[in-house]
Amino acid sequence: MGKHILALDQGTTSTRALLVNKAGEISHLSREELVLQYEHPGWVEVDAEAVWRSAVNVIEETLRSSGLTADTLSAIGITNQRETAVVWDRATGKPIRPAIVWQSRQTAELCDELKRAGHEPLFREKTGLLLDPYFSGTKIAWMLRHTEGAANRAANGELLFGTIDSWLVWKLTGGKVHVTDATNASRTLLYDIHERRWDESLLALLGIPRLMLPEVRSTSEVYGVTDAGLFGGEIPIAAVVGDQQAALFGQGCHRPGEAKNTYGTGCFMLMNTGEEAKASAHGLLTTIAWQLEDRVEYALEGSVFVGGSAIQWLRDGLGILTTAAESEALALQVDSSDGVYVVPAFVGLGTPHWDSEARGSVFGLTRGTTKAHLVRATLESLAYQTRDVLTAMEEDSGMRLTTLGVDGGAVMNGFLMQFQSDLLGVSITRPVQQESTALGAAYLAGLAVGFWRDRDEVRALKQVERTFEPGMDEALRESLYEGWLRAVRAAIAFKG
């Protein structure tokens, strides 16, 4: 048995590989940025070949910098941005067009068509999701409709579909293994999360041939080994898990009622609900937390589409920041956002509104507004959106949260974390190891190959770096939040 698990974390904006040892310590992180394509307003795509190349590069770099060889690794655990859809040619392994990223709105019309025909309750009941362009199903249907000859080729078994995990496993195994896991399947809009199978009636509604779909396996098992030609030896691939579920596992939220929020490109709060798939009355998603052997556990999820990417917009779109980290000092230059609210609905709104037509808006500008106010209001928007989600979560689960575990790129921002704690009235714990997603994938892979004994062993590895306690006066907190609710209502009303 080797001394390390390699975690491959394929996110929206970057691909990372890192090593995890038995104590849950991380070393030799290698990272490659990805270029997203925004060809039309509301569309977000990425070159699946570039994603694949980035995965090879970061694994090679991690091996090189650590001096380890492939056969000294115990396993690879893969975690990935979810819903992003790839369709490729079975024979050549080439994608038929760019992958459609989870944030993309290009299937809004198709979703509306299906809603008008009254199909949403069926999708909601079987998959725990909603008819929103976010999920993979309509993205696959769109590719089949908009790529010449694709529908016929798919029906003949010449094309394969996969979320990013499937695509990477296919490539890593040299085109031998076409699988996904239950967490990723639960984000496709095609998988019955109760019966645990691809659903023929949903496939028929979307015109997707069953032949294209991967086999659905558990979240923690050996699916195959990496092609010996790639890294100079075979490495067992022993976990596949959607990144938000991986973070839930990595944060040690293994018991019902435990929750985490990840602040990456988007913000995703997941609460473990155990073996019960709880339906939501407030726009949350019911999703599979993980499948271990034959046992499935579920989660309630609130999905916020634009989180850290609003900070990237300040940096790259407006040019008022040179780095995302600078946003903290700027926000702290002012005592408040002075009545300014930024609603970053750049690609519509997810939980609890599910409005794919809404667009971003800024409210409350005066002649005295400075870039510090705008930056602060943008950071605050992550916290306000999270409060919307937590309110829904508490109403649906009937549980009151006292502590929230956090992770993701933006949690380094101390201003944001304190404001978040103030606004929720909840303690926030930031772990020492903020790569919860990669840790979750490593733990799940390690459990499959006997690197760790059981869940309790990995849960005990978590260490808290800092706790943020709520300190804001309640009247102020509620009046600030009132302003946010007004701003969101106005943003939704603006779309005409």
Ligand X SMILES: O=P(O)(O)OC[C@H](O)CO
Ligand Y SMILES: Nc1ncnc2c1ncn2[C@@H]1O[C@H](COP(=O)(O)OP(=O)(O)O)[C@@H](O)[C@H]1O
Query: Per CB under 6 A, does 13 bind ligand Y?
Result: yes
Task: Provide the minimum distance between the beta carbon of 407 and ligand X in the complex, in angstroms, as a whole number.
Answer: 10
Q: Write the binding mask 232 to 271 for ligand Y: x where contact by CB under 6 A, - elsewhere.
A: --------------------------------xx------
Q: 409 labelled as ligand-binding?
A: yes
Task: Provide the minimum distance between the beta carbon of 262 and ligand X in the complex, in angstroms, as a whole number.
Answer: 7
Task: Answer yes or no: are the C-beta atoms of 320 and 375 closer than 8 Å.
Answer: yes
Task: Answer yes or no: are the C-beta atoms of 43 and 105 closer than 8 Å.
Answer: yes
- Of residues 104 and 218, the one with the C-beta less far from ligand Y: 104
Task: Provide the minimum distance between the beta carbon of 409 and ligand Y in the complex, in angstroms, as a whole number.
Answer: 2
- Of residues 55 and 208, the one with the C-beta less far from ligand Y: 55
Task: Provide the minimum distance between the beta carbon of 381 and ligand X in the complex, in angstroms, as a whole number.
Answer: 16
Task: Answer yes or no: are the C-beta atoms of 443 and 458 closer than 8 Å.
Answer: yes
Bridge-based pairing of strands 85-89 and 159-163 is antiparallel
Query: Per CB under 6 A, does 412 bind ligand Y?
Result: yes
Instruction: List helix spans (H) across 175-319.
Output: 182-185, 200-206, 228-231, 243-250, 308-312
Q: 83 labelled as ligand-binding?
A: yes
- Of residues 224 and 405, the one with the C-beta less far from ligand X: 405
Please give the backbone phi and psi of residue 211, each rounded to the nearest 5 degrees, phi first: -55, -25
Question: Which DSSP state fits 211?
Answer: G
The rounded distance, in Å, linking the Cα atoms of 292 and 181 is: 10
Query: Per CB under 6 A, does 436 bind ligand Y?
Result: no
- Of residues 20 and 480, the one with the C-beta less far from ligand X: 20
Q: 21 labelled as ligand-binding?
A: no
- Of residues 48 and 205, the one with the C-beta less far from ligand Y: 48
Q: Which does 102 bind (CB under 5 to 8 A by kind): ligand X, ligand Y, none?
A: ligand X
Residue 199: in which H helix or E strand, if any? none
- Of residues 127 and 434, the one with the C-beta less far from ligand Y: 434
- Of residues 102 and 123, the one with the C-beta less far from ligand X: 102
Binding segment (CB under 6 A) for ligand Y, from list 12-20, 59-67, 92-100, 479-487: 12-20
* Cα angle, residue 244 at apex, residues 242 and 248 outer, rounded to 5°: 115
Long-range contacts: 312-320, Cβ < 8 Å, 24+?
A: 312/13, 313/344, 313/346, 313/378, 314/374, 314/375, 314/378, 320/371, 320/374, 320/375
Residues that bind ligand X (CB under 6 A): 11-12, 81-83, 102, 242-244, 264-266
Q: 243 labelled as ligand-binding?
A: yes
Query: Per CB under 6 A, does 325 bind ligand Y?
Result: yes
Task: Provide the minimum distance between the beta carbon of 440 and ligand Y in the complex, in angstroms, as a whole number.
Answer: 13
The rounded distance, in Å, linking the Cα atoms of 214 and 204 is: 17
Query: Per CB under 6 A, does 410 bind ligand Y?
Result: yes
Q: Smallest Cα–Cα separation from 274: which of 292, 247, 250, 262? A: 292
Residue 342: in which H helix or E strand, if any? strand 341-343
Task: Provide the minimum distance between the beta carbon of 240 and ligand Y in the complex, in angstroms, as a whole number.
Answer: 17
The rounded distance, in Å, linking the Cα atoms of 129 and 217 is: 20
Binding segment (CB under 6 A) for ligand Y, from list 233-241, 355-363, 410-418, 445-453: 410-418
Instruction: List Cβ neighbours of 357 (8 Å cut-off, separation of 6 or more).
Output: 108, 348, 495
Instruction: List helix spans (H) across 297-370.
Output: 308-312, 326-332
Q: 16 labelled as ligand-binding?
A: yes
* Binding site listing: 12-14, 16, 82-83, 134, 243-244, 265, 308, 312, 409, 413
* Binding site listing for sn-glycerol 3-phosphate: 12, 82-83, 134, 243
